[in-house]
Chains A and B, each alone.
With several copies, the nearest count.
Chain A
Amino acid sequence: AEARAAVASNFLATFRMLTSDFANKTPHQIVIISGSSGKLYAQIQHGAPFDLFFSADQHRPELLEKEGQAIKGSRFPYALGRLTLWSPKPNFIPVDGKTALTREDITHLAIANPKTAPYGRAAEQTLRSLGLWDQLTPRLVYGENIAQTFQFVSSHNAELGFVARSQVAGSHNQESGSHWDVPPTLHDPIVQEAVLLHQGGTNTAARAFLEYITSPSAQAIIHQQGYGIPDPEKTP
């Protein structure tokens, strides 16, 4: 069978690997629809023919569940976002990220839009935890999502930025440069949740994929791409 999965763009690359692995292991196919979580949410609200929704946050799956668009109890975290401070220049970031952030020669520090992107919110929290927020605000540039934030930095328009570790560590990219993995303690966890949508309730492929996603081989891929594996205990 075939199922349609709506996936937040930031997870798209990893998700592609998961679906092809899934297709190899099962007779099912997953059709990928990517977009920003907000957009996908609005589409689902207005009758988009999707079976699964892999959001970049917790909030929207929760809302969908409440509004009755998703199947109650199907919601679960599938990955934890990891924030990384990254610069394409080698040695720009020493082992301690804070010293890099206080460098004088920074004109722009790229973060994702804290309002719309979970990675942005985490970046803001990190800067606040480090006590650098007020000092750095004038130098901030905001990517609409984490991909754009990465592009700001990779094109050298910003000297450094808070990107997703998946973008730096992912097998797709052998970007050189220097980075500092932000300790998860500096921000709220970036929990990415998935939910089974109403339409997918009877879809065998959708259900099979949800099962697959918690399997060790899937978790290995997710981990390998730079995401944390959520603690199953915390699943609501």
Chain B
Amino acid sequence: MVDLDLGPLWLTLQLASATVIVLLLVGTPIAWWLAFTSSRLRTIVEAIVALPIVLPPTVLGFYLLIAFGPHGLIGGPWKDLTGSALSFTFTGLVLASTFYSLPFVVQPLHGAFEAVGKKPLEAAWTLGASKLDTFFTVASPMAIRGYLTAIVLGFAHTLGEFGVVLMVGGNIPGHTKVLSIAIYDHVETLEYAQAHMLSAGLLLFSFIVLLAVYSANRRLPLHVT
């Protein structure tokens, strides 16, 4: 019998969920700004947002490790503020994943907001909706496909992410040892049976979730006409 530790699975789900939430919170305003600004900074910000993914995850992880360290650009102030370190913590993982997956969220949202355009927003304003209200009741439901793409890509990428997490997390069981590392370890140590099982489980689980998400979306009104 193969022996499976399900701890990494829950941790992974937690990480992916937390990351997606943070990604949406961070990505939405950036995407919104990109879609509607006429600032000259736009192209620069657009380019910067897409940059993290050009680096190999482990290498990005290496730089994040330095930045998250006690003397790092981010880790230093963070320690001063919170009293605790960023590296090797769940929070650090979430931050790193967010950083790495940001383009997968910002880009689809940017496209979706552009497709919504100003007209429906103007209509909502004249109907007494504030800008925030309009965002939640008009812009985001109309950009639902963009959100769907963002969430799926963000979540799935965090599930499969590996290099960054490995580097920044320190692979501490129960804290930062996520599923992808567990599967990786099995492959590395030639425990193929366990690797196959975990992979199959992950795929099946993801497939069911995706299927549920997509068929829910299909039943939503917003579709091609």
Contacts and interface: CB of A to CB of B under 8 A. Distances in A.
Direct contact of A and B (CB under 8 A): yes
A108 B71 CA distance: 15
A145 interface: yes
Given A9-B185, A39-B188, A46-B69, 20 more contacts: A13-B190, A34-B188, A42-B65, A43-B170, A46-B65, A46-B68, A47-B87, A48-B87, A50-B170, A116-B185, A141-B171, A142-B172, A147-B187, A147-B190, A148-B167, A151-B62, A151-B65, A155-B65, A155-B87, A172-B190
A39 B185 contact: no
Given A46-B69, A157-B68, A140 B189 contact: no
Interface residues of B, number: 28
Q: Which of A4, A60, A151 has the most CB of B within 10 A?
A: A151
Interface string A58-72: 001001000000000
B70 interface: yes
A230 B170 CA distance: 29
Interface string B44-81: 00000000000000100010011011111001000000
Contacts of B173: 31-33
Contacts of B189: 9, 12-13, 16, 38, 115-116, 147, 172
A157 B187 contact: no
Interface string A92-114: 00000000000000011010010
Nearest to B162: A144
B133 interface: no
Contacts of A48: 87-88, 170
Nearest to B189: A13
The 9 closest A-B pairs by CB, nearest first: A141-B170, A38-B188, A142-B171, A13-B189, A147-B188, A46-B69, A157-B87, A116-B188, A9-B188
A35 B171 contact: yes
A43 B66 CA distance: 9
B122 interface: no
Nearest to B170: A141
A41 interface: yes
A34 B62 CA distance: 16
Interface string A21-52: 00000000001111111110111001111100
A31 B170 CA distance: 12
Interface string A145-183: 101101110011110000000010010110000000000
B85 interface: yes
A143 B185 CA distance: 12
B185 A157 contact: no
Nearest to A60: B190
Contacts of B191: 13, 172
Given A13-B191, A108-B88, A113-B185, A39 B167 contact: yes
Q: Which of A37, A39, A46, A50 has the most CB of B within 10 A?
A: A46
A115 B166 CA distance: 15
Given A151-B62, A156-B71, A107 B85 contact: yes
A151 B172 contact: no
A131 B70 CA distance: 29
